């Protein structure tokens, strides 16, 4: 049985995904995705490195790496408001490794909770709705290998076309594919992702091969 709720271990890569409560939409209008990403930047970038993402009408996918305690502390020293930062510093000084891992996992989960709560409050006001916007517990899978890591980048970017939401995933604006090919500043770990594929040319080629393979027959969501 697949464990969709493993601890968010520092230094490990994860595929994170969640959908709307009762499979309802979470992104309703133009601008909602950008607002969500703004909240994600505020709450999650201090504790996560982000490698790929895709936002669809009723769900989203992320490929992230949980920062180590030392990385989180360094970010926190830049006046980022993170709960319990002094406690984390004390654990690191004392070298309490198992407790550190538990602390970071809970911290990341709490930051996700704050993201969902903050975003839902705005959308509920916008749509004149009440109640939960997202499913209660966000799912995540630990990345097991380099092949798994590369496949997730392809899968996340191809998702809109696989769901029939667009004719070409490269045209989907609420994802990270175009940013990977851009020279504009980004908080995504763009250079690292491109290095996994051997550069931009191979990055595009592998995506095209992937979508051709997936669209040639039946496909299954790799969650």
CB 43 within 8 A of CB 114: yes
pLDDT-based confidence at residue 216 (cuts at 50, 70, 90): confident
List, for residues 118-168, the tens digit of each pLDDT value.
999 999 999 999 999 999 899 999 999 999 999 999 999 999 999 999 999
Residue-range domains of the chain with CATH: 13-215 (3.30.70.1290)
Residue 147: other Cβ atoms inside 10 A: 9
pTM exceeds 0.85 for this model: yes
User: Please, are residues 40 and 48 in contact by the beta-carbon 8 Å criterion?
Assistant: no
pLDDT at 9: 96
The pLDDT, as a whole number, for residue 76 is 85
The 3-state secondary structure of 44-99 reads: CCCCEEEEEEEEECCEEEEEEEECCHHHHHHHHCCCCCCCCHHHHHHHHHHCCHHH
Tokens at residue 116, please?
């969902």
CA 40/CA 209 separation, integer angstroms: 31
Tell whether the model's pLDDT for residue 86 goes beyond 70.
yes
- pLDDT at position 218 is 52
pLDDT in tens, 161-199: 999 999 999 999 999 999 999 999 999 999 999 999 999
Distance between CA 151 and CA 159 in Å, rounded? 12
**What is the mean predicted confidence (pLDDT) over 43-72?**
97
Q: Regarding predicted confidence, which is higher, 78 or 93?
A: 93
Q: What is the mean pLDDT of the chain?
A: 94
């Amino acid at each position: 049985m697949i464990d969709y709720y493993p601890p968010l271990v520092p230094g490990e890569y994860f595929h994170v995904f969640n959908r709307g409560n009762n499979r309802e939409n979470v992104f309703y209008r133009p601008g909602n995705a950008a607002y969500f990403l703004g909240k994600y930047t505020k709450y999650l970038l201090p504790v996560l490195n982000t490698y790929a993402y895709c936002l669809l009408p009723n769900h989203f996918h992320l490929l992230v790496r949980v920062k180590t305690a030392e990385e989180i502390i360094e970010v926190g020293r830049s006046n980022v408001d993170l709960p319990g930062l002094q406690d984390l510093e004390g654990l690191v000084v004392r070298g309490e490794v198992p407790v550190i891992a538990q602390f970071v996992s809970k911290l990341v989960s709490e930051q996700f909770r704050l993201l969902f709560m903050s975003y839902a409050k705005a959308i509920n006001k916008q749509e004149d709705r009440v109640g939960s916007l997202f499913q209660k517990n966000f799912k995540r899978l630990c990345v097991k290998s380099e092949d798994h890591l590369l496949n997730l980048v392809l899968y996340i970017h191809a998702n809109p076309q696989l769901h029939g939401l667009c004719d070409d995933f490269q045209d989907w604006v609420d994802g990270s594919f175009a940013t990977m090919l851009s020279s504009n500043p980004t908080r995504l770990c763009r250079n690292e992702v491109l290095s996994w594929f051997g550069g931009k040319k191979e990055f595009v080629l592998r995506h095209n091969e992937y979508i051709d393979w997936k669209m040639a027959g039946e496909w299954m969501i790799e969650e």
